Amino acid sequence: MFPSLPEFLAGGLLQAGLWPLALYLLVMTQITIFTVTLYLHRSQAHRGVDFHPLLAHFFRFWSWLTTSMITREWVAIHRKHHAKCETEEDPHSPMHKGIGKVFWHGVELYREARRDRASIEQYGKGCPDDWIERHLYAPYASLGPTVLLLLNFVLFGFAGVAVWAIQMLWIPFWAAGVVNGLGHWWGYRNFDTADTATNLVPWGVWIGGEELHNNHHAFPSSAKFALRRWEFDIGWAAIRLLSALRLARVLRVAPSLNLRPNIRVPDAETLRALLAHRVQALTDYHRQVLRPALKDEAAAAGARLRALLPRQLRKGLADDGRWLSADARAQLHAWVEARPRIRCLLERRRQLAELLEQRGHDAAERLRRLQAWCEAAEASGVRALQEYAARLRGYALAA
């Protein structure tokens, strides 16, 4: 029996209570989160995983229905974020646009980036461009949420309109605000990447694993974001389930690092592993070489570490003060110049980074330079540097 008009307006056809409405909202928003993280992000933007054509098209339809986002535009904006990260050209960098702007007005920044059609053309290659994309999803992007609004109203009445409003805010808040904003402003870092990306929490559940943002920036093409034993990525769990059902095929994951004992001279396997894990190698250098050296400096001065060098400047040592103010950067450089041992260790790190990042050298030349770097580290007389070089020589990619 159909409800009366007042009943229909209040509760739609289903006349659902609060808990069914909450369950509906949770399921719908979780599917939307999975659409963004699994399809738009890991599959289309970074090619870490492929999905069965039917599932891939479902994700496209769901993105159109619940967000009005066009695959090609989302992918292009995200790829540009990686290519221009933490620069003036970054579409949503808190370092340049401010955390308040990115957190509260991330959707406005997304719309602004959409209008840069040259960037969409440059970074959006390889995305779906079939008939339905050209004739429905792209030209009528706003039609999807309109259809969803009508569906919600028919099912739940005016309560469904409130649910629809929350759905429309879900991705702008959690993805554009929290991930793009807080994910470059607050949290912990496993890797000293060349940007400010952080992991918000070690358990990526609520927003599909996107909480592990620093891990993603360290290995962008990896379909798996959890890289430490204590971390969990619900998006990766979903991919594994879909893979078991033959609906997904994993293309890339971050390579695992193996440490071989008693390797006296770096070899080709060392170089391959080092190039794959260069972010890890430079992170380890900071934590295993520079930090002990700072403690030694403090002990020699008879002072506490925070009195010897404020925390902000200590953090600046990880990236040569890139994110410090001009005055703080000058203060850090003056402090380093007055300490030959720290200056020497920073120069060694610069040489290693240049060796790993510089293009144009063949493998044999790179290996020769790596061997020379390890020899110099052994001859330095700095125990932490010698131990680091010994560990570095044993780098290998796990099978």
Question: Distances in Å between the alpha carbon of 231 and those of 199, 217, 380?
Answer: 10, 16, 37
The total of other beta-carbon atoms located within 10 Å of residue 290's CB is 21
Amino acid occupying residue 107: V
Is 141 in a helix, a strand, or coil?
coil
No. of helices (H) and no. of strands (E), the chain: 22, 6
Closest CA to 322 of 85, 51, 8, 22: 85
Question: Distances in Å between the alpha carbon of 152 and those of 34, 59, 66, 136?
Answer: 21, 20, 11, 21
Structure tokens at 31: 């599917």
Distance CA 107, CA 103 (A): 9
* Contact between 183 and 197 (Cβ < 8 Å): yes
**The pLDDT value given to residue 177:** 93
Sequence-separated (6 or more) residues with CB below 8 Å from residue 223: 42, 46, 48, 49, 236, 239, 250, 251, 252, 253
* Contact between 204 and 176 (Cβ < 8 Å): no
Amino acid occupying residue 167: Q
Angle, alpha carbons 77-189-259 (nearest 5°): 110
| Strands annotated E in 196-287 | 203-204, 232-233, 248-250, 257-259
**In the block, which residue shows the tokens 């078991």?**
244
Sequence-separated (6 or more) residues with CB below 8 Å from residue 2: 8, 13
Give 254-308 pLDDT, tens digit per residue: 999 999 999 999 999 999 999 999 999 999 999 999 999 999 999 988 888 888 8
**The pLDDT value given to residue 147:** 98
Distance CA 267, CA 176 (A): 44
Handedness of CA 363, 369, 374, 377 (dihedral sign): negative
**The pLDDT value given to residue 308:** 87
Burial of 200 (0-12, 13-18, 19+ CB in 10 A): buried
Distance CA 199, CA 179 (A): 9
Residue ranges in the chain whose pLDDT is less than 50: none
**The pLDDT value given to residue 3:** 83
pTM recorded for the entire structure:
0.92
* Contact between 226 and 220 (Cβ < 8 Å): no
DSSP strand pairing (232-233 vs 248-250): unpaired
Residue 286 φ/ψ, nearest 5 degrees: -65, -40
DSSP strand pairing (49-51 vs 248-250): antiparallel
Is 116 in a helix, a strand, or coil?
coil
**The pLDDT value given to residue 30:** 97
**The pLDDT value given to residue 163:** 96
Angle, alpha carbons 27-231-63 (nearest 5°): 30
**Residue 137, CA atoms < 13 Å, CB-side half-sphere:** 24
Strand partners, 199: 188, 212
**The pLDDT value given to residue 182:** 95
Residue 48 φ/ψ, nearest 5 degrees: -85, -20
Distance CA 145, CA 164 (A): 8
